[in-house]
Amino acid sequence: MKYSSIAGTGAYLPERVMANKDFEAMVDTSDEWIRERTGIKRRHIAAEDQTTSDMALEAALKALQMAGVSKEDIDLIIVATTTPDKVFPSTACIVQRRLGVSGFAAFDVHAACAGFIYALDVANRFIKTGGASCVLVIGAETYSRIINWKDRSTCVLFGDGAGAIVLKAADKPGVMSTHIHADGRHEDSLHVPAGISSGYDLVQREEAFIHMKGNEVFRAAVGVLDAIARETLSINGVQPGDIDWLIPHQANLRIISAAAKKLDLPMDRVVVTVDQHANTSSASIPLALDVAVRDGRVQRGDLLLFEAFGAGFTWGSALVRY
């Protein structure tokens, strides 16, 4: 039987940094309020001429370099994003062109903040069924394009960036299992009302930005993340104490802390980057993974639990032997 394993990681963050204090002149908020409610201290914001594919490409190149893989070895590209460069073609196709390769499949996955887990699930299935042997899986977002900078409840939460992994065929499982779910009944809890097929050329400008019912999202995320984590561990016959690192979606430090507490995991075994990156949606898990790999916390053989929750609602998890 074929398995998949993470061969390399990569990340990219825009040069521009916005600290919490930068918002004090824009909306009624403060550095203290943002830190207490979210754990966020700063975030990176894409330059005006910088696109999602720009960041995705940089992260991909770093992942390829770490993996020791040539771009000619890639036989599938999957990009998880909700902020593509264009309506079409896919950001994955744009990345493929910019890498200078062609012929194999390239497509985007849209599952909001759970996008990277969804993309990893798809890539793992391609490898296990023989449809691919070297997959570039990327999470990349420019959420600054869909933020209402006058809405203090959302503008302080998000940042831009990209993370990538090279997933290769292996003789033993690296990706032990993936689990993805959705419940579309909660569409209005976290969404961008304007859409391509709903008159986006006529819609009021504020409808093209993120709208969120924060309390509803918080309550749902805490409950669902605990359930998906226990589902994943149970299927694999693993106890919470066996996990070396929990690498969750980086949305809010309170959500992350609550998820760790429910698993009886100390915070020193949780990778946290939300303070430096804010919520980068589908980019947050691969960004956090790359940080932990490059600073030496995550070592080969470590058991990792990824978990994410996002608009849709969508949610997912993966148990990975790095």
Q: Which of 20, 110, 124, 249 is catalytic?
A: 249
Closest CA to 107 of 142, 130, 132, 129: 132
Q: Which of 113, 134, 155, 252 is catalytic?
A: 113
124 is catalytic: no
Q: Which of 20, 124, 252, 279 is catalytic?
A: 279
Orientation of helix 253-262 relative to helix 214-235, angle to 10°: 30
Is there a cis peptide before residue 193, judged by omega within 30 degrees of 0?
Answer: no
Measured in degrees and rounded to the nearest 5, phi and psi for residue 247 equal -120, 90
Dihedral of the CA atoms 92, 107, 232, 4 (nearest 10)?
-80
Measured in degrees and rounded to the nearest 5, phi and psi for residue 288 equal -65, -40
134 is catalytic: no
| Burial of residue 157 (number of CB atoms within 10 Å: 0-12, 13-18, 19+) | buried
C-alpha to C-alpha distance for 311 and 109, rounded to whole angstroms: 14
Residues contacting 263, CB < 8 A, separation 6+? 226, 229, 240, 243, 246
Helix or strand holding residue 164 (H, E): strand 160-170
44 is catalytic: no
Tokens of 10: 């990569």
Query: Residues 311, 162, 169, CA angle at the centre, nearest 5°?
Result: 95
Closest CA to 230 of 265, 183, 266, 262: 262
Give the single-character DSSP code of 57: H
Q: Which residues are catalytic?
A: 113, 249, 279
